[in-house]
Structure 1
Amino acid sequence: RAARGYWGGRGRLFKTAKESVLKAMVHAYAHRKDRKHDFRRLWITRISAATRAEGVSYSQFMHGLELAGVTINRKALSNMAIEDPAAFKALIARAREALPAPAA
């Protein structure tokens, strides 16, 4: 039943269908794990783009937030950068204030 829609013998021949389904399950398991990494990478890319537009690097921004005591996850930061740019700019300002002054 799980092999319905598979092409050729993969959907008709019992042994081949069983192998195909098992292989598909292995890939599904692995890719569920990969999806978590993919989304984290996407969020970081979005945050980085939004912070660079304000003249701050991603790492400086995250470090500034940590120093300021702001604990907000990357998913929420990414969403904020897209949907509420004004609030995100306020966070960037707060992170900038918390960063130590650059050495001259």
Structure 2
Amino acid sequence: MTRIKRGYIARKHRTKTRLFTSSFRSKLTISQQKIKALVSAHRDRDRKKRDFRRLWISRINAVIRENKNEKYYSYSIFMYNYTRGSCFLIVKYLHK
């Protein structure tokens, strides 16, 4: 079987991986750091959604408590009454 030189393709792959983790030199630490970075990015995308939703809920709750309405005095009661009236809202837009 003839020898196949993978010069261009392999070099392109290694360069792309090295650019992703620029401060590491050996192949093992580069690949480990790349996996760790991708795992962290995936985890933090989900965490960002949770954090923003928590922020929006706390802002809405503060406005409801500030107005001191007799009917709604907390976020949970407000949302219960709002959805019971078959109205649906997006919390993201309500906090503004």
Structure 1 counterpart of 2:48: 35
Q: Output the CA distance in 1 between the equivalents of 2:55 and 2:80.
A: 19
Q: Select the residue among 7, 14, 20 that pairs with 1:2.
A: 20
CA deviations 1:70-94 (Å, max 9, x no partner) are 2111111112xxxxxxxxxxxxxxx
Higher helix share: 1
Q: Displacement of 1:64 after TM fit?
A: 1.9
**Alignment-mate amino acid for residue 32 of structure 1:** R
Q: Displacement of 1:68 after TM fit?
A: 2.8
**Alignment-mate amino acid for residue 65 of structure 1:** Y
Q: Displacement of 1:17 after TM fit?
A: 1.4
- Stretches of structure 1 that go unaligned for 5 or more consecutive residues are 80-104
**Which SS does the other structure have where 2:87 is aligned?**
coil
RMSD, aligned α-carbons: 1.3
Q: Confirm or deny that 1:15 pairs with 2:28.
A: yes
Q: Which has the higher contact order (CA 8 A, sep 6+)?
A: 1
Q: TM-score, normalised by structure 2?
A: 0.69
**Which SS does the other structure have where 2:89 is aligned?**
coil
Task: Describe how 1:46-57 pairs up with structure 2 within 5 A.
Answer: 46-55=59-68, 56-57=73-74
**Alignment-mate amino acid for residue 94 of structure 2:** L
Structure 1 counterpart of 2:86: 69
**Alignment-mate amino acid for residue 87 of structure 2:** V
Which portions of structure 1, spanning 4 or more consecutive aligned residues, are displaced by more than 3 angstroms? none
Number of equivalences: 74
Q: TM-score, normalised by structure 1?
A: 0.64
Q: Which has the larger radius of gyration?
A: 2
**Alignment-mate amino acid for residue 93 of structure 2:** A
